[in-house]
Amino acid sequence: MEVVIVPDAESGGELIAEAMAQLLRRKPDALLGVATGSTPLPVSEALAAKVRSGAVDVSRARIAQLDEYVGLPAEHPKSYRSVLTREVLEPLGIGMDAFMGPDGTAEDVQEACEAYDMALAEAGGVDLQLLGIGTDGHIGFNEPCSSLASRTRIKTLTEQTRWDNARFFDGDIDQVPHHVITQGIGTILQAWHLVLFATGEGKADAVAATVEGPVAAVCPASALQLHRHATVVVDEAAASELKLVDYFRHAFANKPDWPQI
């Protein structure tokens, strides 16, 4: 995998947004997989700025959701669908008709998961999937020891993840659902390009395990090592536990002049 060390979150956002823009220029109806959490915000801000300046046209772009809480109605302000509407769709001017996501309130959750997995494949697959990473190495909501071949399904959150996400629920862990729907690791690996973005010291151990540790379900993000086009974009703090930083910097600085990531 390629590891790109950027000075700060803003430049990481710009780099990833430019990769999305390049994709949309060659494939205007590309399916972009987006993630929630605070890390991806600089990406959507940078992409929205490109849309405003006319540098990229997203009028035919499609957006796919990575994961969702079970039991929160779609219009609940903390449902990931609502969060993505506010933080991605509205700033980009993309309507719900170009959006696909799992139904967190379905009576038959398993059926909804399978339907979403199938819908992604029928849509031609995700062209570029943006991922954050949990402090425990999760991607989407695939908690440690998730099957590396898993498909979209229901998962139970670890208490660590519920504590981490309580900040989005007024700091009240009791409001954080226990169950979620997430694209499986096998599903995520089917995207054409995976871009994992991590910032801050709190992610340094998880990033080191992802990039330099063994491929192991205990660190779900390490599955990226199996992907043919995975890019890990990290700021200095998130890169601080990596042993091969000098090589990663050298390789990126000397990269030939083809798409940056």
Contact set for ligand GLP, span 188-247 (CB under 6 A):
none
Number of residues lying near ligand GLP (CB under 6 A): 14
Question: Could you identify the residue written with the tokens 């996501």?
Answer: 101
Looking at the Cβ atoms of 56 and 198, the one nearer to ligand GLP is: 198
Amino acid at 190: Q
111 in catalytic set? no
Residues 161-180: x/- map of binding to ligand GLP (CB under 6 A)? x---x---------------
Which two three-digit tokens encode residue 29? 């109806």
Q: Taking phi first (over 0 means left), then psi (-120 to 50 degrees means alpha), and beta for anything else, what does residue 165 get?
A: alpha
Which of 69, 116, 141, 192: binder of ligand GLP (CB under 6 A)? 141
Least distance in angstroms from the C-beta of 168 to ligand GLP: 8
Stretch that binds ligand GLP, among 29-37, 184-192, 217-225, 242-250 (CB under 6 A): 29-37
Contact set for ligand GLP, span 66-85 (CB under 6 A):
66-67
d(CA 33, CA 124): 12
Q: Which residues pair with 6 in a beta bridge?
A: 235
d(CA 19, CA 40): 14
Whole-Å CA distances, 113 to 147, 181, 187: 16, 7, 11
Q: Is 37 in the site for ligand GLP (CB under 6 A)?
A: yes
Question: Pick the catalytic residue: 14, 127, 136, 164?
Answer: 136
Looking at the Cβ atoms of 37 and 177, the one nearer to ligand GLP is: 37
d(CA 117, CA 227): 19
Which of 33, 101, 104, 132: binder of ligand GLP (CB under 6 A)? 132
Looking at the Cβ atoms of 56 and 120, the one nearer to ligand GLP is: 120
**Angle made by CA atoms 168, 9, 127, in degrees to the nearest 5:** 85
- DSSP secondary structure of 26-75: H-TT-EEEE--SSTTHHHHHHHHHHHHHTS---TT-EEEE-EEESS--TT
Sign of the alpha-carbon dihedral angle for 213, 216, 220, 224? positive
Amino acid at 25: R
Q: Which residues pair with 193 in a beta bridge?
A: 128
Q: Is 102 in the site for ligand GLP (CB under 6 A)?
A: no
Which of 140, 177, 184, 220: binder of ligand GLP (CB under 6 A)? 140
Question: Pick the catalytic residue: 14, 18, 67, 235?
Answer: 67
Stretch that binds ligand GLP, among 53-61, 93-101, 127-135, 248-256 (CB under 6 A): 127-135
Give the residue numbers marked as catalytic: 67, 136, 138, 143
Q: Which spans of this chain sit near ligand GLP (rule: CB under 6 A)?
A: 35-39, 66-67, 132-134, 140-141, 161, 165
